[in-house]
Structure 1
Amino acid sequence: MKFKFEKLIIWQKAMDFGEHIHQLVLKFPNYEMFGLSSQSRRAADSIALNLAEGSIDQSNPEQKRFVAYSIRSLAEVITCLHKSKRRNYITEDEFECIYEEAFNLMNMMVSFKRSIK
């Protein structure tokens, strides 16, 4: 790995999470292609993208700001998951599985943000 952010466990987990969301929304109805499906994918991808962007400038306020963007994007994905469950696009089991992954990622990102000096 040549870039520092590639070594970050949270970046790796965020990359995996984005792929899980991508796979999950593939089964949404076609009419959601430009709605909830697209929003879920973009927000999930934004998590890893912001972690990477923030790692370039490791000055305290700048890196913290980008980690905060990642946290906000994850909150957006969680809201999309709730919407998806309410609309019966995903099962309760699918929701619980991805929600648990999101919860763990959120805790990791909050801890990482606190550790930035």
Structure 2
Amino acid sequence: MKSLSSYRELIVWQKSIDLAVTIYEITRNYPSEEKFGITSQMRRAATSIPANIAEGQAWRTTGEFLQSLGTARGSLAELETFLILSERLGLLNNPTSDISLKDCGEINKMLNALMKSLSTPH
């Protein structure tokens, strides 16, 4: 992998920022009684994805970057779970859920590819 001057150059970081913004927009319409429940959990998981990518790239060692990417992948799985739960609870309609889950799948593939690239000797 070529040397990056900033995590902001990573497309996976850019897409995860977009996803976090989408999650904030989606949860803005959730009932107020969910403010400290699923709304908070979804926002925390969504913002954790790009934050961990950025933190890992900033460490500048491959091992620490891989660990942070693994944490980002865990937050992504958590977010996917909350999206599915939101749909089943009737908080989120199917088309919105499908789009967000598709975005999660794309980010997951990108994280996996980046992790594989970092793990492969060059």
TM-score, shorter chain, exceeding 0.5: yes
Q: Which runs of 5+ in 2 are unaligned?
A: none
Q: How many angstroms apart in 2 are the aligned matches of 1:61 and 1:7?
A: 20
What is the aligned partner in structure 1 of residue 107 from structure 2? 105
Mapping 1:1-117, distance limit 5 Å:
4-117=6-119
Q: How many angstroms apart in 2 are the aligned matches of 1:106 and 1:58?
A: 22
Give CA deviations for 1:19-65 in whole Å, capped at 9, x if unaligned. 00110111111100000000000100000000000001221211100
Q: Provide the aligned length of Structure 1 versus Structure 2.
A: 115
- Superposition misfits of 4+ residues, deviation over 2 angstroms: none
- Taking structure 2 as the reference length, what is the TM-score of the superposition? 0.91
Q: How many angstroms apart in 2 are the aligned matches of 1:65 and 1:75?
A: 15
Secondary structure, counterpart of 1:116 in structure 2? helix
Shift of 1:106: 0.6
Secondary structure, counterpart of 2:78 in structure 1? helix
Q: Which runs of 5+ in 1 are unaligned?
A: none
Percentage of pairs with the same residue:
30
Q: CA RMSD in A?
A: 0.9
